């Protein structure tokens, strides 16, 4: 890292800084300019935080050179990681299409929607058994009964399933039924939950928090990776802004931004980002064109009767039309939607 020394620091303070750096096991390199002195600190940055060096008298700034998210960084892995959900591959040119209703409501609804999205080319089935809702009086999900329905329907259509977990106490239960764990925007910085999911052998779909920076997202992924779970897929789902004509503001630049810094796959959720079915197709196409490793879309056969987020769900025929566009776009970009029935 680089230590920037205060312009009024005394020679004795600078000598003390050099000695302290040596005591910590680093090699200091002092460079004196006309108005500033900087000290290059050579060694393993993981042993000491920049904040601890700021306590040394005379130090004005401590600038790390390595990324704070070490396991998620491109420095750790130059190539793109590929995450397997069942036999479906995400990353490395393989696209995920995660689709289904916001919440598991009944077996009949889940079965109907799954039939349509499977026919359209979706490769992972979604549905929430536990639902985080702004109002405590809104539908909170069916719990384990919903997990059973989702598992049965996923098996019927040979689709791996993903569902959200909201509490560390739910992790074991959800892992018994699902192929992939989803951590929603509200739980992106629930660090105990992140660590608990990091101890499982299930792939994790980590959604960006509503007010989180890209760095915040990658640091949350680091919590999961640090516990030993290497199968993490990031999800851009829009952030809070002053714009009120959409549910959130979709940060499409986050896709190449993450790709430049991190080796993990990243997908885009235009349903939660826009909250508007008329915008979802365009944003889905834009996501694939921007380099995303997949799309996450809510589909319902009767949105007006949906128990959760009906207004932002695509109808089955709209989903089928969109998948046709995305297949052609993927082919032009030399990418493909992976399937669960493919040989490894």
Give pTM, 2 decimals. 0.86
How does pLDDT run across 5-58, given as a tens digit for each residue? 999 999 999 999 999 999 988 888 888 877 789 998 888 776 788 888 899 999
Decide if 31 is inside a domain.
yes
Do 289 and 162 share a structural domain?
yes
Do 304 and 210 share a structural domain?
yes
Residues 6+ apart with CB under 8 A from 48: 24, 26
Grade residue 252 by pLDDT with cuts at 50, 70 and 90. very high
Q: Which residues pair with 162 in a beta bridge?
A: 126, 180
Do 197 and 120 share a structural domain?
yes
Q: What residues make up the domain containing 15? A: 2-63
Above 80 in pLDDT, residue 210? yes
In which element (H, E) is residue 96 found? strand 94-100
- CA nearest neighbour of 120 among 104, 98, 151: 98
Two tokens at 74? 């491109």
Do 310 and 257 share a structural domain?
yes
How does pLDDT run across 144-156, given as a tens digit for each residue? 999 999 999 999 9
Cα angle 62, 65, 70 (rounded to 5 degrees) comes to 115
Residues 6+ apart with CB under 8 A from 283: 250, 252, 268, 270, 273, 274
* pLDDT at 283 (0 to 100): 98
Residues 6+ apart with CB under 8 A from 238: 210, 246, 247, 248, 249, 250, 251, 269, 272, 273, 274
| Mean pLDDT, the chain, integer | 93
Decide if 78 is inside a domain.
no
Decide if 76 is inside a domain.
no
Domain termination residue (choose one: 31, 63, 95)? 63
What does the buried/exposed string (b/e) look like for 226-263 if buried means 16 or more CB atoms within 10 Å of the residue's CB? eeebebbbbbbbbbeeeeeebbbebbbebbebbbebbb
Do 30 and 133 share a structural domain?
no
Do 189 and 46 share a structural domain?
no
Do 268 and 220 share a structural domain?
yes
Do 48 and 118 share a structural domain?
no
Calpha distance 258→70 (Å, rounded):
14
Above 70 in pLDDT, residue 343? no
Do 322 and 249 share a structural domain?
yes
Cα angle 154, 333, 265 (rounded to 5 degrees) comes to 50
In the three-class reduction of DSSP (H, G, I as helix; E, B as strand; rest coil), residue 106 is classed as coil
DSSP 20-69: HHHHTT-EEEEEE-SS-EEEEEES-GGGS-HHHHTTSTTEEEEE-SS-S-
The CATH number given to whatever domain includes residue 29 is: 3.30.70.1140
Do 160 and 194 share a structural domain?
yes
Decide if 319 is inside a domain.
yes
In which element (H, E) is residue 236 found? strand 232-236
How does pLDDT run across 71-121, given as a tens digit for each residue? 999 988 889 999 999 999 999 999 999 999 999 999 999 999 999 999 999
Do 295 and 253 share a structural domain?
yes
How many whole angstroms from its chain centre is CA 324? Answer: 26
In the three-class reduction of DSSP (H, G, I as helix; E, B as strand; rest coil), residue 188 is classed as coil
DSSP 254-307: HHHHHHHHB-S-EEE-HHHHH--TTTHHHHHHHHHHHT-SEEEEEB-S-GGG-S
Two tokens at 7? 């312009």
Above 70 in pLDDT, residue 308? yes
Decide if 88 is inside a domain.
yes
Do 205 and 58 share a structural domain?
no
Q: What percent of the chain has pLDDT over 70?
A: 99
Entry field: residues in the chain? 344
Two tokens at 185? 């925007």
Decide if 70 is inside a domain.
no
Domain count, the chain: 2
Decide if 72 is inside a domain.
no
Calpha distance 266→201 (Å, rounded):
19
* pLDDT at 290 (0 to 100): 97
Calpha distance 83→226 (Å, rounded):
17
Decide if 330 is inside a domain.
yes
Higher pLDDT, 298 or 33: 298
The CATH number given to whatever domain includes residue 151 is: 3.20.20.70
* pLDDT at 70 (0 to 100): 85
- Phi, psi dihedral angles at 28 (to 5 degrees): -90, 145
Q: Are 45 and 56 in contact (CB under 8 A)?
A: no
């Amino acid at each position: 890292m680089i230590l920037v020394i205060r312009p009024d620091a005394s020679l004795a303070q600078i000598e003390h800084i050099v000695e302290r750096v040596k005591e910590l096991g680093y090699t200091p390199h002092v460079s004196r300019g006309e108005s500033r002195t900087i000290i290059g600190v050579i060694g393993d940055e993981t042993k000491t935080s920049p904040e601890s060096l700021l306590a040394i008298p005379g130090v004005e700034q401590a600038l790390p050179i390595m990324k704070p998210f070490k396991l998620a960084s491109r420095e750790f892995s130059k190539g793109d990681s590929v995450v397997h959900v069942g036999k479906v591959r995400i990353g490395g040119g393989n696209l995920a299409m995660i689709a289904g209703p916001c919440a598991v409501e009944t077996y009949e609804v889940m079965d109907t929607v799954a039939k349509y999205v499977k026919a359209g080319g979706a490769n992972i089935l979604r549905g929430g058994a536990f639902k985080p809702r702004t109002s405590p009086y809104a539908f909170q999900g069916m719990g384990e009964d919903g997990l059973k329905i989702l598992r049965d329907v996923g098996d019927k259509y040979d689709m791996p399933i993903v569902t959200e977990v909201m509490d560390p106490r739910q992790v074991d239960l959800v892992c018994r039924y699902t192929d992939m764990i989803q951590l929603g925007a509200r739980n992106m910085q629930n660090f105990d939950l992140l660590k608990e999911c990091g101890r499982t052998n299930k792939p994790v779909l980590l959604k960006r928090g509503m007010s989180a920076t890209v760095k915040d997202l990658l640091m949350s992924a680091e919590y999961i990776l640090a516990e030993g779970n290497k199968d993490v897929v990031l999800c851009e789902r829009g952030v809070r802004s002053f714009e009120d004509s959409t549910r959130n503001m979709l940060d499409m630049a986050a896709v190449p931004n993450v790709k430049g810094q991190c080796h993990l796959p990243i997908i885009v959720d235009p349903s939660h980002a826009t909250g508007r079915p008329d915008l979802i197709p365009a944003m889905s196409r834009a996501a694939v064109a921007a380099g995303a490793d997949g799309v996450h879309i809510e589909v319902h056969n009767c949105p007006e009767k949906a128990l959760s987020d009906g207004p932002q769900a695509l109808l089955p025929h709209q989903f089928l039309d969109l998948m046709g566009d995305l297949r052609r776009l993927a082919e032009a970009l030399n990418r493909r939607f992976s399937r669960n029935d493919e040989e490894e």
